[in-house]
């Protein structure tokens, strides 16, 4: 399966669904065609990207089961939306979107950077993380699925860095090997003491995974 198909596999059956930063709208198309959701909102800050999704989802928009909103983050998404997907953005950007807007009742996040920061954010707010995994489709992707309420058992350092389910996924080994090489090179060239300390800790975690 490719990235889109894998992301769609994490979507639960729901009444209302929103794809924030929807780009072409493929995930929403899947959710509506498969009956995973009864209604959907596609949202993107880029009118150009949104137009592509509107073209793809024209039949659903005409039926009144899909609504298009050009907005920043969650600003145009109803707060009672049952499930929200945010994929392809940096973890910091997702955190900003959630802080300015709201943490959805159910969510699927696929951050491109700073997944650790996003995990910390969700855990500190008492979210229940149900899936925290890694997959490969030309590059490595982390995906976090969960709910606004319910809480999660405290994460270990390794779980926070890699994801609880990722630690049981064979894909993590190849990811760890590639990341170890990058961080060892960075450590050798880094002069900043705090950055070296942080990188040394990350190197140790990567080595633990590979043992």
pLDDT tens across 122-175, in order? 999 999 999 999 999 999 999 999 999 999 999 999 999 999 999 999 999 999
Contact 20, 43 (CB under 8 A): yes
Phi-psi region of 131 (alpha: psi -120 to 50; beta: other; left: phi over 0): beta
**pLDDT for position 121:** 98
**pLDDT tens digit at each of 211 positions of the chain:** 689 999 999 999 999 999 999 989 999 999 999 999 999 999 999 999 899 999 999 999 999 999 999 999 999 999 999 999 999 999 999 999 999 999 999 999 999 999 999 999 999 999 999 999 999 999 999 999 999 999 999 999 999 999 999 999 999 999 999 999 999 998 888 878 888 998 999 999 999 989 8
Task: Annotate 187-206 with b (16+ C-beta within 10 A) or e (fewer).
Answer: beebeeeeeeeebeebbebb
Q: Is 29 exposed, middle or buried (0-12, 13-18, 19+ CB in 10 A)?
A: buried
Whether 202 and 186 have beta carbons less than 8 Å apart is answered as: no
Q: CA 141 to CA 151: how far, in whole Å?
A: 24
pTM for the model stands at 0.94
Q: In Å, how far are 58, 90, 206 from 94, measured between CA atoms?
A: 27, 6, 25
């Amino acid at each position: 399966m490719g990235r889109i198909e894998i992301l769609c596999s994490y979507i639960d059956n729901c009444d209302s669904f929103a794809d924030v930063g929807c780009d072409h709208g493929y995930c929403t198309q899947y959710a509506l065609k498969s009956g995973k959701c009864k209604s959907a909102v596609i949202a993107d800050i880029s009118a150009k990207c949104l137009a592509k999704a509107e073209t793809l989802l024209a039949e659903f928009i005409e039926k009144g089961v899909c609504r298009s909103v050009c907005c920043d983050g969650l600003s145009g998404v109803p707060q009672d939306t049952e499930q929200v997907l945010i994929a392809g953005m940096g973890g910091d950007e997702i955190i900003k979107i959630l802080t300015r807007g709201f943490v959805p009742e159910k969510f699927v996040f696929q951050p491109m950077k700073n997944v650790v920061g996003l995990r910390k954010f969700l855990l500190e707010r008492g979210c229940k993380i149900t899936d925290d995994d890694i997959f490969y489709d030309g590059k490595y992707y982390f995906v976090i699925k969960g709910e606004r309420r319910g809480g999660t058992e405290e994460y270990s350092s390794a779980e926070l860095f890699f994801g609880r389910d990722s630690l049981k996924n064979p894909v993590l080994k190849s990811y760890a090997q590639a990341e170890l090489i990058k961080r060892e090179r960075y450590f050798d060239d880094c002069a900043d003491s705090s950055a070296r300390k942080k990188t040394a800790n990350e190197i140790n975690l990567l080595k633990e995974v590979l043992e």
